[in-house]
């Protein structure tokens, strides 16, 4: 079966109309914007704070919106019908992801403008942000497939927002070196590491490790999402 943009757009359009009436879900966009407004008023905002705001936008918008979009379909028992439709797995997951990607792009763009973030190498920063966006959307898809309702997805995503969205500001409270070493490999820390290196004048070769780790996180999240989706498709919602 060939890939159909018409089917992808139909799924995207349906989700966009439903989400436009859900102010509870859309309110998650406010949190990173408030942070950007608050910290953007300072004279000099450190790059770590800029990246924390970006990570917060990714997890609070991309991951959260994606998870509730999928979970709501399960709650309404309409996901199974979508799985049985002529649309392929790729078309369904792509269509379901477009709303989250659009809202996240708008939120991140606004946050960057409000916080006054500037960089000498948008190509490397953009690559890191793109890989991060893929990871968070895939993570949201996975959480949506594993939860049974919009409310359950909202509860599950809350600790993840703190860990992946604001976890970098709590590292000073952690004394265990082993834990610190492990969490440095998390995608939010890798994006911060990449941005800090670029700020210091690093080139593509210097940040290749961070980009590779972000790509690895994205690949794992995508594979896990597809595997769980296939299991739901074969065994029911």
Query: Is residue 153 within 8 Å of 176, Cβ to Cβ?
Result: no
pLDDT reported for residue 232: 82
Query: Residue 168 has which token pair?
Result: 């970098």
| Percent of the chain's residues with pLDDT above 90 | 49
User: In Å, what is the CA distance from 121 to each residue of 15, 203, 205, 215?
Assistant: 35, 9, 13, 19
User: What ranges do the domains of the chain cover?
Assistant: 5-235
Across residues 229-235, what is the average pLDDT? 81
Among 2-6, 52-56, 100-104, 223-227, whose mean pLDDT is lowest? 2-6
pLDDT reported for residue 162: 86
pLDDT reported for residue 89: 86
Q: pTM of the entire structure?
A: 0.92
| Percent of the chain's residues with pLDDT above 70 | 97
Alpha carbons 229 and 92: distance in angstroms, whole number: 10
Query: Residue 194 has which token pair?
Result: 């990449």
In which band, very low, low, confident or very high, does the pLDDT at 18 lie, cut at 50, 70 and 90? confident
In which band, very low, low, confident or very high, does the pLDDT at 44 lie, cut at 50, 70 and 90? confident
pLDDT reported for residue 234: 74
pLDDT reported for residue 111: 94
Alpha carbons 4 and 6: distance in angstroms, whole number: 5
The answer for residues whose C-beta is within 8 angstroms of residue 8's C-beta and 6 or more apart is 91, 94, 95, 98
Count Cα atoms within 13 angstroms, Cβ side, for 79.
Answer: 29
Alpha carbons 219 and 159: distance in angstroms, whole number: 22
In which band, very low, low, confident or very high, does the pLDDT at 237 lie, cut at 50, 70 and 90? low
pLDDT reported for residue 191: 96
First-to-last C-alpha distance (Å) of the chain = 23
Among 166-170, 190-194, 204-208, 209-213, whose mean pLDDT is lowest? 166-170
Alpha carbons 120 and 217: distance in angstroms, whole number: 26
Across residues 129-156, what is the average pLDDT? 94
pLDDT reported for residue 189: 92
């Amino acid at each position: 079966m060939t890939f159909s943009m018409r089917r992808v757009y139909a799924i995207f359009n349906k989700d966009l109309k439903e989400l436009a009436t859900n102010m509870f879900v859309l309110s998650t966009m406010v949190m990173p914007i408030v942070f950007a407004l608050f910290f953007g008023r300072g004279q000099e905002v450190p790059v770590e704070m800029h990246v924390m705001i970006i990570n917060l936008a990714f997890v609070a918008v991309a991951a959260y919106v994606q998870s509730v979009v999928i979970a709501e379909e399960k709650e309404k028992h309409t996901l199974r019908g979508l799985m049985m439709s002529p649309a392929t797995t790729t078309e369904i997951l792509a269509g379901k992801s477009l709303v989250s990607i659009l809202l996240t792009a708008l939120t991140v763009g606004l946050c960057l403008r409000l916080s006054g973030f500037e960089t000498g190498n948008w190509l490397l920063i953009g690559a890191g942000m793109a890989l991060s966006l893929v990871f968070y959307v895939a993570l949201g898809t996975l959480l949506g497939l594993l939860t049974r309702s919009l409310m359950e997805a909202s509860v599950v995503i809350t600790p993840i927002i703190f860990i992946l969205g604001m976890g970098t500001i709590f590292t000073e409270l952690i004394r265990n070196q082993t834990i610190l070493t492990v969490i440095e490999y998390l995608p939010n820390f890798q994006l911060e590491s990449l941005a800090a290196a670029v700020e210091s004048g690093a080139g593509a070769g210097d940040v290749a490790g961070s980009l590779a780790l972000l790509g690895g996180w994205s690949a794992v999240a995508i594979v896990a999402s597809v595997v769980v989706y296939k299991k739901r498709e074969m065994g029911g919602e």
